[in-house]
Chains A and B, each alone.
Chain A
Amino acid sequence: MSDIKDVNPAEDGARGLSRRQFMGGIGALGALGVIGGAVAQVFLLPDEVIAYPVSGGFLLVDQKKCSGCSTCMAACAIAHHGAANHSLSRIQITQNPFKAFPYDIDPVQCWQCDECVQACPTGAMHVDPETGVRTVDQLRCIGCLRCVAACPRAVSAVQWSEEGHASQKCDLCLDTPYMDDEGGIDGRRACESVCPMRAIKFTTDLPEQTEDGYSPNLRTENWASFGYVADIEG
């Protein structure tokens, strides 16, 4: 048996994501607010950086509040495919039960950056003109998986769907044939609605970004009453 000892969270926490990787897609400029309201698909800026309109909505996941129950994953697959299948979930909650909190869970949801859009050679992965949501036109997908490789998350938030013979990603539930309610920006997001910890929240505001992406705190004062100390790491 290896020694039972305290784990060094710092050693365990590296996620291998550079600031450039995360910020790159959304334009490396302070003009996001301007772009946010636009409906055009692509801007060619003077320095030849391609920028896409910012998404009209974002999914926030509180990594410290998440219990790792994966209910969101089951809901995502069921709403889109009518079947449970974690491999078809557009949100991936990865976890290692032996690691130290908060690095034991890494919720991987789409950040709505545009690395995948940039990587796509056919335009199948595109910015939805209505909502700004990064979306796949599965008919145009040739299965090259460049979008999957381009995603900056430790686990790609874009997946290959054998069923659809195309890549797929979070569409904020725009296209959910198996959910009675409308999805999308003005509708219901399946994962958000089932999360028992209320650790998923949809927002139309551009989230505050750090090197680790979005790390929202969705805990209320009530949280501590359950016995958890979630802010010990700041």
Chain B
Amino acid sequence: MGNGYAGKILRVDLTAGTVSEIETEQYREWGGGHGMGSAIFWDLCADKTISGFDPANVITIMSSPLAGTLAPSASRLEIQGIGVQSTPEWFTRSNMGGRFATMMKFAGWDGIVLEGAASKPTWIEIENDRVVLRDAETDGLWGLDTYDTQERIWNLQVANSDGWREIGTKSGERAALQSAVITIGPSGEKKSRVGALIHDAGNAAAQGGFGGVWGAKNLKAISVIGSKDIDVADAAALLNARFSAREDLGVNVDEPKDGFGWARFSGNPSPAVMYPMPTDVGSRPQACQSCISSCRARFSDGLGNESSCEETYFYFFADMMYNQGQTTPTVRYSAEMVQRLGINVYEIDHGLNWLYHLYQEGIAGVGKQVDIDLPWDTYGSREFIETYQRMVADREGAGDILAEGMWRAAEHWGRLEEDTASGVLHYSYWGLPEHGYDPRAEAYWGWGSILGDRDINEHDFNNLFWKPSIAKWYGIPSWMEAEEFVTKFAERMLPFDPDPMMLDFSEDGMYSEGQVKLTAWHRHYTRFWKESALYCDYRFADFYSPKTEDRGGFTPEGEPLFWNAVTGDGMSFTDGMELGRRIWNLDNAIWTIQGRHRDMVKYSEYLYEVPYGGHLYGPYWMPTFEDGTWDYRLVTGRVIDRERMEDVKTMFYELEGWDVSTGWPTRETLEGVDLGHVADTLEAAGKLGGE
């Protein structure tokens, strides 16, 4: 098929124990990643109203044409299917970096589709065209943690004395690298709703509970290695684009102050860890394939290798508290344990805060309302976090309840209503944990999540909070004044008019047409450029840069530049946005079939009742337009206004061309994005929106 695509998608029927192929060409119109995943799910998952644990759930694992090429920070993987973490169980997505997408492409596969459930623990070994379903028990994988599983698989795959391994039947099918493996840990094996998929040391796809879904399918791991070509449309253009991306836009790691802490494409290769980097052990940067930067580290004691962000943070304060204000290696230890056990860190983080609060209130403890046996007097120690994590992963004692996710656990213990009204259980949308970018402050994050299926976890606009807030916290001048900052963003938000009012985070701004447009732009942008083309959330979108004369970023030129060099498509940024809108429409059609209705689109109670207190790290400053001027202002102290939220929903549905009373897609809109057949299905189900 060429030009970025391997040409085939692997289809595995776990029930029958057979494999077959889908021609990628059949789904080429969707670009890759999420678009292809949604389209395949639409076609292959006959009953979309089933539970995610049902063997008939279809899981797609898709790469993009950019994976394995020189496109910067785009060798990622999109995983979709019916998730088991949210309430209700929406069709959902998760995403990971690392080496898997690249290896899968080199093996000749653009993606993998999983159907059915194996009758016994199974793992899948892919070496180029050779695909074998192997016994995970006989091979000693079942029961292992995620690190041990991967090392065991590598030990089963032995190289020649020259360091190269024969991976096919033809001569020349050789690879010097080890296979890339995605696996579940004990948590997934126990069909936990907080089970994650883990690859290498620190790549996790945890949202959606796909670890538990694999467990229900009796699937322990997929290992892949390949030695095939990925053709590109214009090799010289691709090389030139990457040369200049590094010189003109990327950070020069050798030049003092060339980097820029909070920039994206041109950001420093600093590890995204939330604790002070240890100075008593050695470390290096560690990056996903073809990344222009790096955001993780590996250490000379090997502890917490590749962990970043939330997993490095969730036990940080407890560790400090326990150790008289010092951080200890326990933070990295607890991060590594999350990866090894394969647990969704957001769940156990928010869960731990909630349980600790209940313990302090005398509600949680042995024989109490929340009957749980944890060594609370050692909270902050290794012993404590080990006991807690093992309990969740192994479903021991109260862990059996916690493995259902904290929302369901609260329901089980009769705490849901009270604790979501007070906000002690910090779960904002669809029974899922809030992300730290609060809907009461960073409105579009909340709107995107509640109008979709999950915590969006897309950081494109977060620097509108981080940059001014950090400047305020430390009393340093802002790098860019508010008006210039929002203008830089708005100018790059094609195909919308460059209206800075989209970035107005004043209280009125939260409910404005501008914020609704921002929400829609974000849904369309991420659906294609970040989840289908699979540019990394950490490096894109790039709205401003310290490296360009006008301080404008790589977006919207960068995304299509690499896409076109690889695929030869001649796609514009706006074409990608349109495709993103098409994918977003298909997703909404799936949710509609699953039972989505406008009336369900509601936050948890605390967001309407409890004024927002600010970010954990400090007060929340954002650009606002008030009294005729732009400035960075405090956005704390707010609640969501129920009526104005209804206005937002109405405006959003109107903007998307969806039925205002139900939120369902209309025929006109679906036909406008060439999804007439989807409209037919909705109509037959009695779920097509009125015009």
Contact = CB atoms under 8 A, between A and B. Distances in A.
**Is B a genuine binding partner of A?**
yes
Contacts of A149: 161-162
B268 interface: yes
Interface string B206-235: 000000000000000000001111111001
A47 interface: no
A52 interface: no
Nearest to A6: B301
Interface residues of B, number: 91
Contacts of A68: 286-287
B336 interface: yes
Nearest to B305: A97
- Chain A interface secondary structure, helix, strand, loop or mixed? loop
Contacts of B270: 226-227
A92 interface: yes
A85 B229 CA distance: 5
B75 to A, nearest CB: 9
A155 interface: yes
B302 A196 contact: no
A55 interface: no
A214 interface: no
Given A67-B286, A229-B281, A79 B106 contact: no
Contacts of A100: 298-302
Given A1-B340, A87-B175, A198-B252, A229 B70 contact: no
A195 B227 CA distance: 22
A84 B289 contact: no
Interface residues of B, dominant DSSP = loop
A174 interface: no
A50 to B, nearest CB: 23
A84 B305 contact: no
B70 A84 contact: yes
Interface stretch (A18-26, A133-141, A202-210, A216-224): A216-224
A96 B186 contact: no
Interface stretch (A34-42, A102-110, A120-128): A102-110
A74 interface: yes
Interface stretch (B144-152, B353-361, B484-492): B144-152
Contacts of B163: 94, 108, 153-156
Sorting the interface of chain A by its residue count into under 10, 10 to 19, 20 to 34 or 35 or more gives 35 or more
B283 interface: yes
Interface in B171-195: 171-178, 185-186
B288 A155 contact: no
Given A98-B201, A227-B271, A82 B232 contact: yes
B246 A98 contact: no
Contact of A84 (B230, B284, B300): B230
B337 A4 contact: yes
A64 B282 CA distance: 9
A195 B292 CA distance: 8
Nearest to A161: B172
Contact of B186 (A1, A65, A159): A1
Contacts of A67: 269, 284-287, 291, 294
Contact of B290 (A74, A87, A95, A220): A74
Interface stretch (B29-37, B42-50, B237-245): B237-245
B70 A162 contact: no
Contacts of B623: none
A70 B230 CA distance: 15
Nearest to B237: A180
Interface centre among A78, A81, A97, A227 (most CB of B within 10 A): A97
Nearest to B154: A96
B549 interface: no
A155 B242 CA distance: 27
Interface of A: 1-2, 4, 6-7, 9, 64-71, 74-75, 77-79, 81-88, 92, 94-102, 104-105, 108, 145, 148-149, 151, 153-156, 159-163, 178-180, 188, 190, 193-198, 220-223, 225-233
Interface of B: 68-70, 99, 102, 106, 144-145, 147-148, 150-151, 161-164, 170-178, 185-186, 200-202, 226-232, 235-236, 238-240, 242-243, 246, 250-256, 258-259, 268-271, 273, 277-294, 297-303, 305-306, 333, 336-337, 340-341
26 contacts: A6-B301, A65-B284, A66-B284, A67-B294, A68-B287, A69-B290, A70-B99, A84-B230, A85-B227, A85-B228, A86-B175, A98-B302, A101-B302, A104-B302, A104-B305, A153-B163, A154-B163, A178-B236, A180-B239, A196-B269, A196-B292, A228-B297, A229-B282, A230-B283, A231-B282, A233-B282
Given A160-B171, A180-B239, 10 more contacts: A1-B185, A2-B145, A67-B285, A74-B70, A83-B235, A94-B163, A151-B162, A228-B285, A229-B278, A229-B280
